[in-house]
Copies of this chain bind each other. A is one copy, B any other.
Amino acid sequence: MDLDDGTALLTDQYELTMLQAALRSGTAGRRAVFEVFARSLPAGRRYGVVAGTGRLLDAIEAFRFDAAELEFLTANGIVDDPTAHWLEKYRFSGNVWGYAEGDCYFPESPILVVEGTFAEAVLLETVALSILNHDCAIASAASRMVHAAQDRPIIEMGSRRAHERAAVASARAAYIAGFTTTSNLEAGRLYGVPTAGTSAHSFTLLHDSERHAFEAQLAALGEGTTLLVDTYDVERAVRTAVELAGPSLGAVRIDSGDLGVMARRVREQLDSLGAHDTRIVVTGDLDEYGIAALAAAPVNGYGVGTSLVTGSGAPTASLVYKLVARADGPDDDAPMRPVAKRSTGKPSRGGRKSAVRRIDAHGTAYAETVSVGEPAPGRRDRVLHVPLVRDGEIVGRESLRDARERHVRSVAELPPTALQLSKGEPAVPTEFVEGGPRT
């Protein structure tokens, strides 16, 4: 494997061929503004969640073409020598603004604005979309699960069902959206997401009896551990577990069967054995609907895997990266012209956008106002763009904790319909208005 930290080839070939053609035609240096937005949310979803911003800033910083990459590009005739020479010196020197990580978004929300020369900005399309499309999809699904679980903790355990690196990003995005822990160790090391995990069925099957397996786990991990009780017979396993660990057994995990029925039976049994504080964790093909269905069951925590890493039916956020304005000529002070595709099917709006979340007297959001030009926020309104990159320098780094706390505030501000799991309209309507002149 020859994976390297560089991100410059995480790029679609057309960006480099466009660069080459623009260098030849003299348009490469025109100032340009690209925006990232979703034309719609996944069917029926009430809001989306911005995630991936921190990873994107890392990727922009690492976006340099090294000698081996340039050699690959020229040897395969993908770019000519003048273009390779230009790429050799590439570093992004423009500006990026975006919705802050963890904030909610809606259809047409301009969640990222990239400003630079056409040449430098066009090259970031793929890596920006890859990161944001994945991480926003995961965080958007995760947020629904977190609210379905109310105050119960959720462990992210989807790594085994996702690409091995996407799994790490998924754990990060889920944490931003409110998951408590992840099973993924690399997410712990790389991003500081708290990790969790105790044992699988294979551990029980390895031993000569379930009793031996439980004894081994308790000896190694202490009585605060979580014992998996559904390898053979749940009732017998719970009896054995409490017999061995005593009433201070941390938790039991149920991974199969009707989780609601099983949880009630196990709770009764635990209580009858005096293990009143032993928690019940349920796992096994849970999604936001399955979690919600267990609201009245005596469950203390959930583990979610497949549905999280697949975005619960929406594995990509359908974000696009569109040129919305460009200079009329090569000079720095050439006037900017709004541009947009005009053909059928996928229209887009020209002009660089600002966005404001309108907040009423009760602190509740009632509109996502997108304008070309400067926004005119009211007293309670929230301007949504924050600076991320200024003249090529990363200025938008923050901790995961900040993004996680922002997400709590952003959801709290939405109208109550936002938390309905049923299909419906976006919780906040997007409106386009004329903005003031940009200063």
Give 21 CB contacts A-B under 8 Å: A4-B5, A10-B165, A10-B184, A12-B185, A12-B197, A13-B184, A13-B196, A14-B183, A14-B197, A25-B216, A34-B202, A80-B220, A126-B167, A130-B161, A130-B167, A134-B166, A162-B316, A201-B341, A232-B342, A234-B343, A257-B343
Q: Which residue of B lies closest to A184 (CB)?
A: B12
A30 to B311, CA, bound (A): 38
CB-CB < 8 A to A230: which residues of B? 341, 343
A425 at the interface (CB under 8 A from B): no
List residues of chain A with CB under 8 Å of any chain B CB.
1-5, 7, 9-18, 20-25, 27, 30, 32, 34, 55, 58-59, 61-62, 68-69, 72-73, 76, 78, 80, 118, 122, 125-127, 129-131, 133-134, 157, 159-169, 183-186, 188-190, 195-203, 205-208, 212, 215-217, 219-221, 230-234, 255-257, 284, 306, 309-311, 315-316, 318, 321-323, 326, 328, 339-346
A185 to B127, CA, bound (A): 12
**Is A186 a contact of B12 with CB atoms below 8 Å?**
no
**Is A59 a contact of B1 with CB atoms below 8 Å?**
yes
A231 to B341, CA, bound (A): 5
CB-CB < 8 A to A311: which residues of B? 315
**Is A9 a contact of B256 with CB atoms below 8 Å?**
no
**Is B346 a contact of A195 with CB atoms below 8 Å?**
no
A200 to B185, CA, bound (A): 39
**Is A160 a contact of B126 with CB atoms below 8 Å?**
yes
CB-CB < 8 A to A23: which residues of B? 220
CB-CB < 8 A to A255: which residues of B? 346
**Is A200 a contact of B18 with CB atoms below 8 Å?**
yes
A316 to B134, CA, bound (A): 14
**Most chain-B Cβ atoms within 10 A of its Cβ — which of A131, A230, A311?**
A230
**Is B183 a contact of A326 with CB atoms below 8 Å?**
no
**Is A190 a contact of B2 with CB atoms below 8 Å?**
yes
Q: Which residue of B lies closest to A347 (CB)?
A: B256
Provided the pairs A25-B215, A185-B73, A219-B24 are in contact, do residues A206 and B118 lie with their beta carbons within 8 angstroms? yes
A195 to B346, CA, bound (A): 26
**Is B21 a contact of A219 with CB atoms below 8 Å?**
yes
**Most chain-B Cβ atoms within 10 A of its Cβ — which of A58, A201, A203?**
A203
CB-CB < 8 A to A21: which residues of B? 199, 203, 216-217, 219-221
A17 to B195, CA, bound (A): 12
**Is A130 a contact of B315 with CB atoms below 8 Å?**
no
Provided the pairs A11-B185, A164-B131, A221-B17 are in contact, do residues A202 and B322 lie with their beta carbons within 8 angstroms? yes
